[in-house]
């Protein structure tokens, strides 16, 4: 949950990237770090395996500006996508103010997308966040020649028609829009 530190006049908001392993969560956070103005964010923090796999989470902190005289800070975290990492994922999701679900557009990854979305729903229910956390979708790897349609991704992982954005995190394209959309929802809830 957003942490309003009244004495410091700051609000920290937590947004978590969730999705199947290899969908582009860490790549998105690193691309945001490179694309945003250096004076608006800190470094990317996060231990990885030698192959680049996220061990626990990646973290990027972005300064959003002021709201009612308080500074708003957005903490972007990526949760591990491996199905066997439920406890780590739930720890990262605990206290989340928003979620960006990163779906892989590869036809071979559709079942992994479905499983990751089902796991997210179970995790949010377990944490008591199922009805309170806004979710937006980032349909990543749209540059694949055999990418499934956005309509098919909607049917697989976006049953409620939440905002969804086409992206290619490696270029980077379409990575700002999901952060903007979820941030607006989170900040609106604080106002």
Q: What angle do CA 114, 135, 22 make, to 5 degrees?
A: 45
CATH number at residue 113: 3.40.50.300
163 against 63, higher pLDDT: 163
How many separate domains does the chain show?
1
- What does the alpha-carbon distance between residue 94 and residue 114 come to, in Å, rounded to a whole number? 21
Residue 27 vs residues 42, 50, 94, 160: alpha-carbon distances, Å: 16, 15, 22, 26
Which is nearest to 100 in space by CA: 13, 21, 178, 4?
Answer: 178
Which is nearest to 134 in space by CA: 120, 145, 146, 147?
Answer: 120
Average of pLDDT values for 21-35?
89
Query: Range of 143's domain?
Result: 3-190
pLDDT over 80 at 55, yes or no: no
In this structure, the number of other CB atoms found within 10 A of the CB of residue 159 comes to 10
Beta strand 70-78 with 164-166 is unpaired
pLDDT over 90 at 66, yes or no: no
Confidence band for 5, pLDDT divided at 50, 70 and 90: very low
Q: Are 107 and 88 in contact (CB under 8 A)?
A: no
Q: Which residues pair with 62 in a beta bridge?
A: 41, 74
- What does the alpha-carbon distance between residue 60 and residue 70 come to, in Å, rounded to a whole number? 20
pLDDT in tens, 73-89: 889 999 988 888 899 99
Average pLDDT over the chain reads: 86
Q: Are 85 and 93 in contact (CB under 8 A)?
A: no
Per-residue pLDDT at 33: 81
pLDDT in tens, 112-155: 999 999 999 999 999 999 989 999 999 999 999 999 999 999 99
């Amino acid at each position: 949950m957003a942490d309003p530190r009244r004495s410091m006049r700051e609000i920290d908001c937590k947004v978590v990237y969730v999705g199947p392993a290899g969908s582009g969560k860490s790549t998105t956070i690193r691309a945001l770090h490179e694309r945003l103005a250096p004076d608006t964010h800190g470094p990317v923090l996060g231990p990885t395996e030698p192959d680049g796999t996220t061990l626990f989470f990646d973290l990027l902190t972005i300064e959003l500006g002021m709201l009612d005289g308080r500074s708003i800070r957005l903490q972007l975290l990526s949760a591990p996508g491996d199905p066997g990492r439920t406890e780590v994922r739930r720890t990262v999701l605990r206290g989340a103010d928003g979620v960006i679900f990163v779906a892989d557009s590869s036809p071979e990854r559709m079942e992994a997308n479905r499983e990751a979305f089902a796991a997210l729903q179970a995790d949010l229910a377990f944490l008591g966040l199922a009805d309170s956390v806004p979710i937006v979708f980032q349909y990543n790897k749209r540059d694949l020649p055999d990418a499934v349609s956005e309509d098919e991704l909607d049917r697989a992982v976006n049953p409620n028609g939440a905002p969804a954005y086409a992206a290619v995190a490696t270029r980077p394209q379409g990575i700002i829009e999901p952060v903007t959309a979820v941030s607006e929802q989170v900040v609106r809830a604080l106002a």
